[in-house]
């Protein structure tokens, strides 16, 4: 039975402004992750933009293929991302231990390869899968060509995210920032060269875009591998200079924690995919407005996502040290910062809707009037949506820091699919709210998840957090 530890430093900190100190540490850890998340989103935007330059059909096929690829990618990232709280707790328990974090990292690297293999087999048969889902055979064939280039990006992407998670737990987020920012340029150049056949290269079309993403992910991985040798703090862990060996107990720990995280992320992303399908049933203008507002919301979400990732590490460090006070402080600090930003984000959506929409659509064009009107209505609901979305993202990160993932997974399943989608569909098709009703449903689902996750955190907090031993 673990006992919470109150060190001399903890006692001394009680008389100092702990919130300011913790907030500074949280922001220092999170801002490189936030920028890296934005860069990753920019890479996807670049892919679709250049496919649009190739042809509208190429853009449609790329978007279709990516929608099949994305749930697999995010499940794997959630699974592998469990390395962050595991390594963070090991560092918190003993900052001088290098063997424990190295062994945990190697289980994440091995898992990255293992989970990519069946996904490669699945995506190789993408054409048959898409046709089975009712897609047009010609569009499904083009999407499959795109995926036959893109699917190879899974392994380097998973390895990159495993290394990124370990680096974050070791308080090294700068390499992730550098890799993400540089990769935006690499990805854009590779897309241009391979899609259109520049500088003597063959014009590979839609296949070239998928291949460009693979090369970009390889580049990002190589940046982190290089840093693992160059940075003195990272070099002592020998993450990539020693043989990866399986430790079945550590591997089981990673999968027990990571699989629920991956499923939680999958539940969230698939409900938004379902909302796109439902919005398409309402009408073309509603679907276009939904796509524009979703891009705005997704960009704003990068902030709480980065804070969530930082919260996992900060909470994990305190959890590993069995420091109940700082587990609580780190969690509430992350949530306070996240909610503060989301209030600012929501206010911007309410006060300057046309300014935000103008980045994606000509708001003054008469032909776009219906789309702009619908998007403005969606954006007003999205302002409320922001508060709950930020809260659930950060709360999930807080709970991952104390190795709590199974209950949050069930909460996500209930909130998104038991509340959000049914309520949204009911309001959209059984009332006059239409698309606005669907957005209200999504907000209700996120509100339910955020409240239940915070209740879960409070219950863990009252119990002292340490029901289970840190292994």
pLDDT at 421: 94
pLDDT at 8: 46
Same domain for 376 and 334: yes
Q: Are the C-beta atoms of residues 206 and 139 closer than 8 Å to each other?
A: no
Tell me whether residue 346 is in a domain: yes
Same domain for 301 and 420: yes
Tell me whether residue 9 is in a domain: no
Distance CA 250, CA 87 (A): 11
pLDDT at 467: 59
Domain boundary among 213, 246, 279: 246
C-beta neighbour count of 136 within 10 angstroms: 13
Distance CA 215, CA 308 (A): 28
The model's pTM is 0.90
Tell me whether residue 10 is in a domain: no
What is the DSSP code string of 268-337? Answer: HHHHHHHHHHHHHHH-HHHHHHHHHHHHHHHHHHHHHHHHHHHHHHHHHHHHHTT-HHHHHHHHHHHHHH
pLDDT at 360: 77
For the chain, how many structural domains are there in total? 2
Q: Tell me how far CA of residue 222 lies from CA of 159, 215, 216, 219, in angstroms.
A: 10, 11, 10, 5
pLDDT at 1: 38
Same domain for 267 and 121: no
pLDDT at 371: 86
Distance CA 184, CA 340 (A): 29
Domain boundary among 246, 272, 305: 246
Same domain for 429 and 290: yes
Tell me whether residue 102 is in a domain: yes
Tell me whether residue 334 is in a domain: yes
Same domain for 242 and 271: no
Domain boundary among 195, 211, 246: 246
Tell me whether residue 8 is in a domain: no
State which residues form the domain around 300.
259-471
Q: Please count the CA atoms within 13 angstroms of the CA of 428 that sit on its side-chain side.
A: 25
Same domain for 217 and 305: no
pLDDT at 16: 56
Work out the end-to-end distance of the chain between its first and last CA atoms, rounded to an integer number of angstroms. Answer: 12
- What are φ and ψ of residue 319, in 5° steps? -65, -45
Our CA angle for 24, 26, 27, nearest 5°, is 65
Distance CA 317, CA 46 (A): 36
Same domain for 303 and 187: no
Tell me whether residue 132 is in a domain: yes
Same domain for 207 and 122: yes
Same domain for 158 and 296: no
Same domain for 307 and 407: yes
Tell me whether residue 254 is in a domain: no
pLDDT in tens, the chain (471 residues): 344 444 444 444 444 589 999 999 999 999 999 999 988 888 888 888 888 888 878 888 888 888 899 999 999 999 999 999 999 999 999 989 999 999 999 999 999 999 999 999 999 999 999 899 888 888 889 999 999 999 999 999 999 999 999 999 999 999 999 999 999 999 999 999 999 999 989 999 999 999 999 999 999 999 999 999 999 999 999 999 888 999 999 999 999 999 999 999 999 888 988 888 888 888 878 888 888 888 888 888 999 999 999 999 999 999 999 999 999 999 999 999 999 999 999 999 999 999 998 877 888 888 888 888 999 999 999 998 899 999 999 999 999 999 999 999 999 999 999 999 999 999 999 999 999 999 999 999 999 999 999 999 999 999 888 754 343
Same domain for 382 and 295: yes
> What 3-state DSSP class applies to 365?
coil
Same domain for 390 and 343: yes
């Amino acid at each position: 039975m673990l006992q919470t530890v109150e060190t001399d430093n903890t006692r001394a900190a009680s008389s100092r402004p702990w919130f300011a100190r913790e907030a500074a540490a949280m922001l220092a850890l999170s801002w490189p992750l936030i920028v890296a998340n934005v860069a990753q989103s920019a890479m996807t935007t670049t892919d679709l933009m250049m496919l649009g330059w190739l042809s509208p059909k190429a853009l449609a096929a790329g978007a279709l293929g990516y929608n099949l690829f994305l749930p697999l990618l995010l499940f794997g990232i959630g699974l592998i991302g469990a390395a962050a709280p595991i390594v963070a707790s090991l560092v918190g328990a003993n900052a001088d231990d290098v063997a424990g974090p190295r062994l945990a990292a190697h289980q994440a690297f091995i898992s990255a390869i293992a989970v990519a293999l069946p996904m490669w087999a699945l995506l190789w048969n993408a054409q048959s899968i898409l046709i089975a889902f009712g897609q047009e055979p010609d569009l499904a064939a083009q999407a499959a060509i795109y995926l036959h280039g893109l699917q190879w990006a899974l392994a380097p992407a998973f390895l990159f995210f495993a290394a990124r998670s370990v680096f974050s737990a070791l308080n090294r987020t700068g390499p992730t920032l550098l890799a993400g920012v540089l990769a935006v340029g690499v990805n854009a150049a590779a897309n241009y060269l391979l899609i259109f056949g520049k500088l003597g290269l063959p014009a590979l079309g839609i296949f070239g875009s998928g291949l460009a993403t693979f090369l970009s992910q390889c580049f990002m991985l190589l940046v982190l591998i290089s840093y693992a040798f160059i940075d003195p703090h990272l070099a002592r862990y020998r993450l990539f200079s020693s043989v990866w060996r399986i430790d079945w107990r550590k591997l089981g720990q990673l999968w027990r924690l990571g699989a629920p995280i991956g499923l939680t992320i999958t539940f969230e992303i698939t409900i938004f995919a379902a909302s796109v399908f439902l919005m398409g049933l309402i009408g073309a203008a509603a679907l276009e407005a939904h796509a524009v507002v979703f891009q705005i919301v997704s960009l704003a979400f990068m902030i709480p996502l980065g804070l969530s990732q930082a919260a996992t590490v900060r909470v994990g460090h305190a959890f590993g040290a069995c420091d109940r006070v700082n587990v609580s402080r780190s969690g509430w600090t992350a949530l306070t910062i996240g909610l503060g930003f989301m209030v600012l984000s929501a206010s911007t959506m309410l006060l300057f809707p046309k300014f935000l929409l103008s980045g994606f659509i000509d708001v003054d064009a008469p032909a776009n009037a219906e789309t702009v009107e619908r998007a403005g209505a969606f954006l007003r609901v999205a302002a409320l949506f922001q508060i709950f979305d930020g809260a659930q993202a950060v709360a999930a990160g807080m709970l991952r820091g104390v190795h709590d993932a199974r209950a949050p997974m069930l909460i996500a399943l209930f909130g998104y699919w038991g509340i959000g989608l049914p309520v949204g569909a009911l309001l959209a098709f059984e009332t006059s709210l239409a698309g606005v009703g669907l957005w209200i449903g999504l907000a209700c689902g996120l509100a339910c998840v955020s409240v239940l996750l915070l209740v879960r955190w409070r219950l863990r907090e009252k119990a002292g957090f340490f029901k289970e031993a840190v292994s």
